[in-house]
Structure 1
Amino acid sequence: MAVTWAKALSWRSRRHLLDPVGTGSVADVVRRLGPVPAWPDAAAELAIGTRRTDGRSGDATRALAAGNVVKVFAFRGATHLMTPRDAGAYLAVRASSRMWELPSWERYYGLAPSDWPRFREYVRQALAEGPIKRSELAAALGRISRYRHLRSIVAEGNDTLLKPLTWQGDLGLGPVLDGEATFLSLDSVRGWAGIPDLDEAGPAVIAAYFSTHGPATPDRVHDWFGKGLGAKRRDVTRWLSHLDERLEAVTIAGDLVLVLCEDLDDLGTTTPSTAVRLLPGRDPWVMAPGTSDTRIVPPAHREAVSWSANLVISRGVVAGTWKVRGERLDITWFSDSGRVPSTALDQEAMALARFLDRRLEVAVEVG
């Protein structure tokens, strides 16, 4: 089967709901992408909204408030949006590092590994009546002498202590209320599936990665789940072996990569995409394969991508950057990206204006 990277990126673009743009809900997009970076809020809104034909700014926030998606600490400890059904598997992998048992954590927080079950239960009780603000969670910790020393840590916005509570399925983040972060019990969210067994979760999240972000090398899978979720290398290797019968090795332009067997026919018949899209910085399109992937991020422009610039994607490749200043949309088209696709950029500008609900005047420069 002859597969080129142009075909592979086109197939991935369809899986990402970028070409064609999807017609589903916020939860449908999040389910397809897996974890979506939740900060900054505007970037999360656009990452989801640009993949929906009727997407509008604020849709993701409303979906979070309705419990259609959850916000949790996941990759690299940052907040991500996931579906209630799928979140537990990613959290199981993240929890496998058991960082809260490190001696440095015990010294800083005054909690030994044996103290965590009781601490978790105390926090679950604090969340039992419904979502609470950060100040209310801090006050709850201050009401008992055992945890009083943690009150200021939480009140001052140090969320590191709270991350293991998310990883173990106790706590999620809700929408900001009166300028404060809110926290909720994940058990209260409709559709929350809990934390599965690690050897069930690992193969599941790897298969999901291939389904949306493939084709990919085993090394990239190790990077994504090892550096991103703290999974041990031996565990990722074992999970890949569990998927042996579902994965097929394919050579694309000299690169040996893996593809889910169920996707092989579709991949082989895909035609190269010519789509142009305006994406936010740190969009899953570039973060999942990694900014070191030269097929998507030309080395000359990696610095801009790494610094979270908003991205112009053409045929699946980073081809420029963009910024909104008031009612002006400034697009920088990279000089090494070929001819400026003026009509496609105008169409994308109209879609962005619709999403933001504001008029935008487009200015394009080649640089």
Structure 2
Amino acid sequence: MTWGDILRWRIERQFLGATRGPDLVAVARRLSGVHAQLAASAVTALHLRVAGGATAASVDEALWGSRTLVKTWAARGTLHLLPAADLPTWVAAMSTRTRETTGSWLRYHGVTAEQMADIIAAVPDVLGGEPLTREELAAAIIKATRHKDLREPLTQGFGAVLKPLAFRGLLCSGPPLGRNVTFVAPRQWLDEWDEVETERAIDTLALAYLGTYGPSTADEFSRWFDLKPALAKRSFARLADDLVELEGGVLPAGLAGEVAGKRPASVHLLPAFDPYVVGSLRQLDRVVSGDNKAKVSRPQGWISPALVVDGRIDGVWDGDTVTPFVPLARSIRSALARGFPEVGVAD
């Protein structure tokens, strides 16, 4: 078994190989959420993996029509599309985060511990199933808490002060109103749910992560999810009987036998922030050809669109030009010409 076997197996597990996912929900579940900081990239990531493809309209229907997907801050505190049915499990694990109680976090984001506690207490009373814009939500919180100086922190574009609310299941994205984002209370926008036990939630998400991005370690899972390292290590210890050791970490025992199977060659142009790349950031030495990690994971958290050949990141691209990291075989150039005729290859 080689690292090349592992990368080709990951391609299959992510519905990028011979088999596509049956629907948007199945793909989002297999990927442990679809990174959605860039909406267009999320749609492309789903389109590549869903049988029959996906469009912005079909994703919007799943989010705002059938409500089978939910958009919220999740892994690493970034926006993701998650299966709505899985949100209780995610909330149980994410609610272990307590960064917003630390002095450094509070000072950086311009709020006090008292204000943050009052925000968390007020939101269940001011946010329901009717979407509120960021400004409307801020006004309602200020009215309820009487903290008039909260407007700037609450309306900040990246939503740092709102993220702890999402982690507790008090807030998720609602349908956009023109160019304005909106927020709703998940238990009213979706359905009320029974609480999930924290350890069971973490174990469920750890197995899902390993089944798509493994083999991996507790430390890598901790960083990928933004989970306290001790909680990740205890989860891997609880799951030890269900895991097997491979190069690079552990894998669910039931999947280990699939890794060495033969698979057809594959060539993909993946969008920025594609889950395949984001899930490999801690292993880029093994995944990226040559000394090119900095071209894939760039400053300010930007993850480049990637050329992926048999699971290995062999280049980046910018919309009309592929910049390879290694000489490309004629078969790869032919595959690119057939599948992406509008994209050229830089010499």
TM-score by length of 2: 0.88
Task: Determine the C-alpha separation between the residues in 1 that align with 2:167 and 2:329.
Answer: 45
For residue 293 of structure 1, report the CA deviation from its aligned partner: 2.8
Q: Which amino acid in the other structure matches residue 87 of structure 1? A: L
Match of 1:352 in 2: none
For residue 243 of structure 1, report the CA deviation from its aligned partner: 0.4
Task: Determine the C-alpha separation between the residues in 2 that align with 1:262 and 1:323.
Answer: 38
Tell me whether 288-297 or 236-245 shows the greater mean CA deviation: 288-297
Task: Determine the C-alpha separation between the residues in 2 that align with 1:192 and 1:33.
Answer: 25
Match of 2:207 in 1: 207
Q: Partner of 1:278: helix, strand, or coil? A: strand
> For the structure 1 residues 304 and 128, does the alpha-carbon distance in structure 2 shift closer, same or farther, using more than 3 Å as the test?
same
> For the structure 1 residues 81 and 74, does the alpha-carbon distance in structure 2 shift closer, same or farther, using more than 3 Å as the test?
same
Return 5+ residue gaps in structure 2 as ranges: none
Contact map agreement 2:289 2:326 (CA 8 A) in 1: no
Task: Determine the C-alpha separation between the residues in 2 that align with 1:212 and 1:310.
Answer: 20
Task: Determine the C-alpha separation between the residues in 2 that align with 1:19 and 1:193.
Answer: 35
Task: Determine the C-alpha separation between the residues in 2 that align with 1:105 and 1:208.
Answer: 30
Q: Partner of 2:318: helix, strand, or coil? A: strand
Match of 2:235 among 220, 232, 239: 239
Match of 2:160 in 1: 160
Task: Determine the C-alpha separation between the residues in 2 that align with 1:232 and 1:362.
Answer: 42
Q: Partner of 1:295: helix, strand, or coil? A: helix
Match of 1:263 in 2: 255
Contact map agreement 1:281 1:305 (CA 8 A) in 2: no
Pair 1:330 & 2:321 matched: yes
Match of 1:24 in 2: 22
Match of 1:289 in 2: 280
**Equivalences, count:** 339
Match of 1:321 among 316, 324, 327: 316
> For the structure 1 residues 155 and 204, does the alpha-carbon distance in structure 2 shift closer, same or farther, using more than 3 Å as the test?
same
Q: How does 1:59-78 map to 2 (within 5 A)?
A: 59-66=58-65, 67-78=67-78
For residue 13 of structure 1, report the CA deviation from its aligned partner: 1.1
Alpha-carbon displacement from aligned partner over 1:280-299 (angstroms, at most 9, x marks no partner): 12211122122543231124
Task: Determine the C-alpha separation between the residues in 2 that align with 1:322 and 1:166.
Answer: 33
Alpha-carbon displacement from aligned partner over 1:52-108 (angstroms, at most 9, x marks no partner): 242243033332223221111123322111112223333333331312222345563
Return 5+ residue gaps in structure 1 as ranges: 350-359
TM-score by length of 1: 0.84
Q: Partner of 1:249: helix, strand, or coil? A: strand
For residue 51 of structure 1, report the CA deviation from its aligned partner: 0.8
Q: Which amino acid in the other structure matches residue 318 of structure 2? A: K
Contact map agreement 1:138 1:154 (CA 8 A) in 2: yes
Contact map agreement 2:77 2:226 (CA 8 A) in 1: no
> For the structure 1 residues 105 and 46, does the alpha-carbon distance in structure 2 shift closer, same or farther, using more than 3 Å as the test?
same
> For the structure 1 residues 185 and 249, does the alpha-carbon distance in structure 2 shift closer, same or farther, using more than 3 Å as the test?
same
Q: Partner of 1:70: helix, strand, or coil? A: strand
Q: How does 1:88-103 map to 2 (within 5 A)?
A: 88-103=88-103
Task: Determine the C-alpha separation between the residues in 1 that align with 2:194 and 2:272.
Answer: 31
Task: Determine the C-alpha separation between the residues in 1 that align with 2:87 and 2:145.
Answer: 33
Alpha-carbon displacement from aligned partner over 1:87-135 (angstroms, at most 9, x marks no partner): 333333333131222234556323439x73x643421222224111112
Q: Which amino acid in the other structure matches residue 342 of structure 1? A: R
Q: Which amino acid in the other structure matches residue 219 of structure 2? A: H
Q: How does 1:206-225 map to 2 (within 5 A)?
A: 206-216=206-216, 218=217, 221-225=218-222
Q: Partner of 1:19: helix, strand, or coil? A: coil
Higher relative contact order (CA closer than 8 Å, sequence separation 6+)? 1
Match of 2:306 in 1: 311
Contact map agreement 1:95 1:168 (CA 8 A) in 2: yes
Task: Determine the C-alpha separation between the residues in 2 that align with 1:310 and 1:130.
Answer: 36
Q: Partner of 2:182: helix, strand, or coil? A: strand
> For the structure 1 residues 207 and 15, does the alpha-carbon distance in structure 2 shift closer, same or farther, using more than 3 Å as the test?
same
Pair 1:171 & 2:152 matched: no
